Structure 1
Amino acid sequence: MTIKNLLEEKILVKEKDILFCMLFTEQLLPNLENPSIIILDNASYHPKLIQRIPATTWRKEELQSFLKANNIAYNSNMLKMELYALAKDAQVTQTYEIDELANEWGHKVLRLPPYHCQFNPTELVWAKCKLFYNQHSDRDGYMVMIRFWQCGQVYTLSRVNAKEWRHYTNHVEKEMEFFWVLEIIWKECRRH
């Protein structure tokens, strides 16, 4: 990947971040019934952190700032790993900007585990969009393809009705149940 491609990708992520926040605050939040649970995956434009969980890679100054911000007493002569142990014991959770916005409106955000897109019914809708695109594009040129992809998304998304969405969510629930069963079996195997 070239530097130009990386820069373009960064710009696209920033644009998606702005667009997502705008849609989230102006379209989604005002139209949900209270209280609602909002399920988010780990797309790069979803997790804008307000507070991070300390890591061993943090510098000593970062750990001290974290401890100070969370009113945790420490000695300035402590070693980095001692500071990290204090920070880890604080049991502070990561705070996301989107979660705070949802809380202000009386909603909660549930985040899907990383790399588990099978638990997200929206992925099935996107798969439908991609299928439509692949079946109808002639790949004439890049800009034509981009415009067609955008039109295809609107066309496909407009045809996802309540019945189809229920089908997608039922499919995801079955996937989740399957993983619960696998976890129970795995725990049983470990005990023996």
Structure 2
Amino acid sequence: MKSSQLKTKEDYHGNFNSEIFEKWFKVLCGTLKESYGSYIIHLDGAKYHKRVLNPVPNGKWLKAQIQAWLTYETLVLYVIDLVYFSSRRIGFNAAMYKVALLLLAKSAKEPVQYATVAIARVFGHHVLFTPPIILSSNLLRLYGS
């Protein structure tokens, strides 16, 4: 059998993504809440753990997309069947260059909101992420503490 035939849509080693993880995570959060109450949940920095709900424009965005980001009044994002609301209205001149618009966007940047944190919050849980690099005990001994 080919390895591609063994991989199902929800196979962890196959094609795990934020959509599949968030569905599973929502069920987990609900079960934890019903059975044990509120919890602190530790997650690593895997890409599917940290889907950003409120991305900030960058150089890859089109000028029209940046302008839309600066002017939206109410943004409704659906996380599985949970809803995240946000609003902003930043004035700009339509003749401004893309670089100037990016500077405006940078100045209006909101704290990053992750989908997993939003899901956990609905169920009364708190999410903590591990640092990007965790030093091994050997390195700590080498450099001292």
Q: Give the alignment's TM-score, normalised by structure 1.
A: 0.48
Distance 2:49 2:107 in 1: 27
Among 58, 63, 78, the alignment partner of 2:61 is 58
How far apart in 1 are the matches of 2:90 and 2:18? 36
Map 1:74-153 → 2, pairs under 5 A: 74-114=92-132, 116=133, 118=134
Aligned equivalent of 1:49: 52
CA positional deviation for 1:80: 0.7
| Alignment deviations for residues 39-63 of structure 1 (CA, whole Å, 9 cap, x no partner) | 2222132222322122233221121
Distance 1:108 1:37 in 2: 5
**Which is greater in Rg?**
1
- Alpha-carbon distance between aligned partners in 1 of 2:110 and 2:54, rounded to the nearest angstrom: 9
Tell me how far 1:85 sits from its aligned partner: 0.8
Q: By how many angstroms is 1:15 displaced?
A: 6.0
Distance 1:16 1:78 in 2: 35
Q: What is the distance in 2 between the residues matched to 1:22 and 1:86?
A: 35
CA distance in 2 between partners of 1:113 and 1:54 (Å): 25
Contact between 1:13 and 1:45, CA under 8 Å: does it hold in 2?
A: no
More strand by share: 2
Q: Where does structure 1 lack aligned partners over 5 or more consecutive residues?
A: 120-170, 182-192
The answer as to whether partners of 1:52 and 1:93 remain within 8 angstroms in 2 is no
Structure 2 residue corresponding to 1:38, chosen from 41, 48, 56: 41
Runs of 4+ in 1 over 3 A off after TM superposition: 14-17
Amino acid at match of 2:92: Y
Give the superposed CA RMSD: 3.2
CA contact (8 A) 1:13 1:44 kept: no
The 8 Å contact of residues 53 and 112 in structure 2, kept in 1 or not, is answered as yes
User: Gaps (5+ residues) in structure 2?
Assistant: 73-87
Q: Relative contact order (alpha carbons < 8 A, sep ≥ 6): 1 or 2 greater? A: 2
Corresponding position of 1:23: 24
Contact kept, 8 Å, 1:99 with 1:109, in 2: the verdict is yes
- From 13, 16, 24, give the equivalent of 2:15: 13
Q: CA offsets per residue over residues 129-169 of structure 1, 9 Å max, x none?
A: xxxxxxxxxxxxxxxxxxxxxxxxxxxxxxxxxxxxxxxxx
Whether the 8 Å CA contact 2:71–2:91 is kept in 1: the answer is yes
